[in-house]
Structure 1
């Protein structure tokens, strides 16, 4: 998935490096095309209610507009050189902040102010007196009279861009399964690519177009994720299971899993704790190798095996059962500390905490020759009923 999101950036770089004189570079109308792409991203984000992308769009549009009005002159001009030095740094810092801070709702007062800042701060950097004030220097003297000015436009850029790239990669590695972080990284990478291609025709338009396409791919992935991944457990949900069943192999097996006494657990501890149980179970099942786990609905889960070796399946299911049974679930107290620091200090010392253990029942059916997936699923459900009838917290396999 990350490679797909970054594909427009790589394609642009390849076109500029290997076919710099190709007529394709002048065949796209600018500046209209980037704004059309950004409008499509905004429309799709609105339909999906993914409002956080509006901030990225505002920042991307602001940078594009600033590049159009401020960087279309020779870099030998002091104010243009200063803008070339400061604008990517400002945009990089802003993008990092957007990736790590909690973003307000776009329709709220803080959200409107943040949208305004995302767009107008890059545009404001095109004002030469403002740039001079930020640098606290006399631009003509600094950029023209001092030989070290060239360092800031070459090695200085390379140094801080490398630092920010390292931070980005660290952020992506920590949150590697979040497509949104990869989409944000693609936008930053595209903007930085502009400063490497600044002398090319329509460079700002092409990188903005590539960034917009990366955002479209990210939103498309998020749309599929919302449709096929359960938000609570982060496991694929029933719609994804139906797709798997349609391509089920001849030698396969299906297991139905159910949390024991889940309704009673919910009634005793509340639905918030019940959700905590389901999240825990989703985390455990996601870490088990050799099977595909799905949330079937409620407290029921479905495990699909690509083989029907009874002994291996029984061993795997027993391992899952023991993992769940032996996991001590700490119930969250109403008076738990709000800050992580206080919570860490009180860990192991707080009174009134309670640990509970949950159990699961599992019923598995091995696929018979020419058996339809629906019939196999039904037999697995019957095996689950047998496990519950046998006293729960056990595994039953129907061959």
Structure 2
């Protein structure tokens, strides 16, 4: 559990590296040359709006409905007098609560597109959150027993620790922000992806905007968020186009792009899981998919400077730029041994859907199986100078490995240098 939490946080920080650098650079620029930023937004007051519009269109084209709603939400923040509305009593409480609830809803939900049904559901949800913010939460805030039970224990120590909070939030708002923060942390660990990263950073930025209450900072932060939203969509789309969805390694399309960067010297290794069809027929496609993931994870860690790609089915390709077969074979032998020696534990019985009421029985032993892979190696020569020709030679070598009993490495017999 602890390891998975650390992995989720690590992946989130990796995704958030570009936005954090962007914000840090903008902060440095604003700190050293505030007049430059002020003059930029005075001369170009529509910059944040145009940036959000572009980000919203790109998000809509790629089906990122949550990011489209986020752009609309941020567009409301940069409207004239928006900050003064948030900071006044009465309606301000409802508006501030509505913004926090909207961010929470976006972090909690998934991209659903803009079909008539999903659009109607989203609009109904937004209306419901608005009614809760304007009517229900102010009633709770004004109800004395609710304040004593729900608000005081959780917020009084924060107000005493940081008195300035009382200038920005009521007790109800602060409790709502705390709950929303817990939700953000949970989904950072549970869904460490670029869209979730963008939503969490936008939520934190909104809290900064409402606390700082400066129009220039407001427009600067929202403009940066528009760039981050666009970055998130492009990064996700790139991953979908160039990464294999099942195994997570680069796909065949990424391989074709890699080919364009290869010089005159390179080695290609074709790999195939032995008896994979029989394994699938025996244990089922779900187990077969797990084996594909396992083999892909091992191949992605191949040493010697190789780059692994899923070519299709159970076939993988490893590209070694600036290497000859003699330099490559020891690394391929090492990865072949790692795959062959790895024990795969299969459940002899499926996990029960519900916990049995009877006394626990002795756990059934898991069945241990192994898989092996065969490898064919070929390199670019004068006779085989184009990539497709080298691939064909590697495929011939792979066929020889299959004929030789599988679970081995064969180097193509190529003429030329």
Instruction: Give the shorter-chain TM-score range.
Output: 0.7 to 0.9
Instruction: Name the counterpart of 1:40.
Output: 57
Does residue 210 (structure 1) correspond to residue 224 (structure 2)? The answer is yes
SS of the residue corresponding to residue 269 of structure 2 reads: strand
Does residue 58 (structure 1) correspond to residue 69 (structure 2)? The answer is yes
| Contact 1:254-1:366 within 8 A present in 2 as well | yes
Name the TM-score, length of structure 1 as normaliser: 0.74
Instruction: Name the counterpart of 2:284.
Output: 270
Residues 1:312 and 1:165: Cα distance change in structure 2 (over 3 Å): farther
Shift of 1:364: 1.0
SS of the residue corresponding to residue 247 of structure 1 reads: coil
Provide the aligned C-alpha RMSD in A. 4.4
SS of the residue corresponding to residue 287 of structure 1 reads: coil
Deviations 1:202-224 (A, max 9, x none): 82x55444333322221112222
Residues 1:347 and 1:187: Cα distance change in structure 2 (over 3 Å): farther
Instruction: Name the counterpart of 2:125.
Output: 117
- Identify the match of residue 198 of structure 1 among 213, 216, 219: 213
| Contact 1:34-1:212 within 8 A present in 2 as well | yes
Instruction: Name the counterpart of 2:376.
Output: 363
Instruction: Name the counterpart of 1:29.
Output: 46
| Contact 1:363-1:382 within 8 A present in 2 as well | yes
Shift of 1:241: 1.1
| Contact 2:267-2:321 within 8 A present in 1 as well | yes
- Identify the match of residue 84 of structure 2 among 61, 73, 81: 73
Shift of 1:303: 0.7
Shift of 1:286: 2.1
| Contact 2:112-2:118 within 8 A present in 1 as well | yes
1:218 & 1:327 partners in 2: Cα distance? 37
Deviations 1:81-131 (A, max 9, x none): 756875665456445534xxx677775978854554357636864x4x655
5 Å matches for 1:84-163? 86=97, 90=101, 93-94=104-105, 96-98=107-109, 112-113=120-121, 116-118=124-126, 121=129, 125=133, 127=134, 130-136=136-142, 150-153=164-167
Deviations 1:6-63 (A, max 9, x none): 56655654564444443321313288536623541442233xxxxxx32343355346
1:121 & 1:224 partners in 2: Cα distance? 34
Residues 1:355 and 1:216: Cα distance change in structure 2 (over 3 Å): same
Does residue 394 (structure 1) correspond to residue 408 (structure 2)? The answer is yes
| Contact 2:51-2:227 within 8 A present in 1 as well | no
Instruction: Name the counterpart of 2:261.
Output: 247
Higher relative contact order (CA 8 A, sep 6+): 1
| Contact 1:58-1:118 within 8 A present in 2 as well | no
Residues 1:23 and 1:151: Cα distance change in structure 2 (over 3 Å): closer
- Identify the match of residue 233 of structure 1 among 242, 247, 251: 247
Residues 1:33 and 1:123: Cα distance change in structure 2 (over 3 Å): farther
Name the TM-score, length of structure 2 as normaliser: 0.71
| Contact 2:58-2:230 within 8 A present in 1 as well | yes
| Contact 1:70-1:80 within 8 A present in 2 as well | no
| Contact 1:292-1:304 within 8 A present in 2 as well | yes
| Contact 1:291-1:306 within 8 A present in 2 as well | yes
| Contact 2:247-2:296 within 8 A present in 1 as well | yes
Does residue 261 (structure 1) correspond to residue 275 (structure 2)? The answer is yes
5 Å matches for 1:300-319? 300-308=315-323, 310=325, 312-319=327-334
| Contact 2:47-2:223 within 8 A present in 1 as well | no
Size of the aligned set, in residue pairs, is 376
Residues 1:251 and 1:237: Cα distance change in structure 2 (over 3 Å): same
Deviations 1:241-289 (A, max 9, x none): 1222222244432110011122222333333332222122112222334
Does residue 350 (structure 1) correspond to residue 364 (structure 2)? The answer is yes
* Structure 2: stretches of 5+ with no match in the other structure: 1-14, 153-158
2:406 & 2:361 partners in 1: Cα distance? 33
1:385 & 1:37 partners in 2: Cα distance? 51
Shift of 1:186: 3.5
| Contact 1:8-1:210 within 8 A present in 2 as well | yes
| Contact 1:37-1:213 within 8 A present in 2 as well | no
